[in-house]
Structure 1
Amino acid sequence: MNTVKTRKVGNSLTVTIPKALDVPEGQEMVVYKGADNVIVLAPKIADPFAEAADLRMENDFEGVRLLDSEI
């Protein structure tokens, strides 16, 4: 297990990620504090809806017949 310490850089604290963890340089990360003050770093993923096609559901139920009690 690797052990690291926080250090002050400007008004922030930083932690060095060991090379053995094979995190690429420039990797954008999301950071949050979880339960019991655990600090979590996760790679940021692209927004899957950023370039999505039109997602409107206008004709999805075309041709579907309703039963008597569904209205």
Structure 2
Amino acid sequence: MNTVKTRKVGNSLTVTIPKEFGMKEGTELVVFKGKNDVIVLAPKIQNPFDGVTDLRMENDFEGVKLLENEY
């Protein structure tokens, strides 16, 4: 188990994420406070409904073979 300490940076606190966690520099994280004051950090995911992402499913089943009873 890793243990880290908070440090003051300006008016905020910061925590160092250990290198062995494999987090890439510049990764955007969402942070929220859960039950019993647990702090949760999760990588921010792209909104699939942002109007930029192509949601068409044209080739999703390419190469899939049907079973005999599925014709």
Tell me the TM-score normalised to structure 2 length.
0.71
Matching of residue 33 in structure 1 with residue 55 in structure 2: no
Matched with 1:69 is: none
- Give 1:48 deviation, angstroms: 0.7
Distance (whole Å) between structure 1 residues aligned to residue 42 and residue 3 of structure 2 = 18
Structure 2 residue runs of 5 or longer lacking an equivalent are 55-71
Query: Any idea what the Cα deviations from partners look like across 1:17-58, whole Å, max 9, x if unmatched?
Result: 0001000110000000000000000000001100267xxxxx
4+ residue runs over 2 A deviation: none
**Structure possessing the higher radius of gyration over alpha carbons:** 1
Structure 1: which amino acid aligns with 2:15?
V
CA RMSD of aligned residues (A): 1.3
Secondary structure of the structure 1 residue equivalent to 2:36: helix
Structure 1: which amino acid aligns with 2:30?
V
Matched with 1:14 is: 14
Structure 2: which amino acid aligns with 1:23?
M
- Give 1:9 deviation, angstroms: 0.1
Structure 1 residue runs of 5 or longer lacking an equivalent are 54-71
Structure 2: which amino acid aligns with 1:24?
K
Aligned length: 53
* Percent of aligned pairs sharing the same letter: 68
